[in-house]
Amino acid sequence: MEKIIKHSGIGVPLRQSNIDTDQIIPAVYLKRITRTGFEDALFAEWRKDLNFILNRSPFDAGSVLVAGPDFGTGSSREHAVWALKDYGFKAVLASRFADIFRGNSGKQGLIAAQVVQDDIELIWKVLENHPGTEVTVDLQDRTVVCGSVTAPFQIDDYTRWRLLEGLDDIGLTLTHEESITEYEGSRPDWKPRTLPARS
């Protein structure tokens, strides 16, 4: 995975709470078997409305999404993160994220930056009054800057470290393979196995 330290890009204010992953990417796009090429699927239903923010310049070139609380609720589909990334988003700012979405973001190098709602409101105002303003998300310092607004954000230490170092999760875990094998030796015999099949 690519290392991420800091990103600056046009901020997109999306004044809505509870943006679930069915809105981020409708289920019909989940039939694909590839990991890329989901940019057309991002907010597919909402983008049919010509006034939707991503259909308006300069927001269509945005890379930092600034959303309402409880972003990414619902389905665990990682496709939501892929679609945001494929479209060009590098970071999402919100006061609360659904746990699975936050986890998926960390795996894919999308920064899910938790910013308190009061600061989100200030950033929304800057972006609405001055469309095209860039938002800088600094993972090293855990701060976001947008116009005159500077705000701290939360991201857990482990995710931040992995993103800063660009580390592959599976590779990291497999350095502990001996511990896994040792644990497997201690599991009780009565624990279920799917094979051989019984029915």
> Which positions lie near other proteins, rule CB under 8 A?
15-18, 20, 22-23, 26-28, 30-35, 45, 68-70, 73-79, 81, 96-100, 103-104, 107-108, 156-158, 169-170, 172-174, 176-177, 179-180, 183-184, 187-195, 197-199
Minimum CB separation of residue 79 from other proteins in Å reads 8
In the bound state with other proteins, the residue whose beta carbon lies nearer, of 11 and 68, is: 68
Nearest to 87 by CA among 37, 14, 138: 37
In the bound state with other proteins, the residue whose beta carbon lies nearer, of 129 and 190, is: 190
Minimum CB separation of residue 168 from other proteins in Å reads 9
Render 100-148 in DSSP notation, one character per residue.
HHHHHHHHHT-EEEE--HHHHHHHHHHHHHSTT-EEEEETTTTEEEETT
Minimum CB separation of residue 187 from other proteins in Å reads 8
Task: Mention every residue, 6+ apart, whose C-beta is less than 8 A from residue 107.
Answer: 78, 81, 169
Minimum CB separation of residue 7 from other proteins in Å reads 20
Cα-Cα-Cα-Cα dihedral sign, residues 103, 104, 109, 115 = negative
Minimum CB separation of residue 171 from other proteins in Å reads 9
Sheet holding 6-14, edge to edge: 111-114, 91-94, 64-67, 6-14, 134-138, 143-146, 149-152
In the bound state with other proteins, the residue whose beta carbon lies nearer, of 15 and 61, is: 15
Q: Which residues sit opposite 64 in a β-bridge?
A: 11, 91
In the bound state with other proteins, the residue whose beta carbon lies nearer, of 8 and 142, is: 142
In the bound state with other proteins, the residue whose beta carbon lies nearer, of 57 and 192, is: 192
Both tokens of residue 156?
A: 């857990």
Phi-psi region of 132 (alpha: psi -120 to 50; beta: other; left: phi over 0): left
Both tokens of residue 128?
A: 């609405």
Minimum CB separation of residue 134 from other proteins in Å reads 25
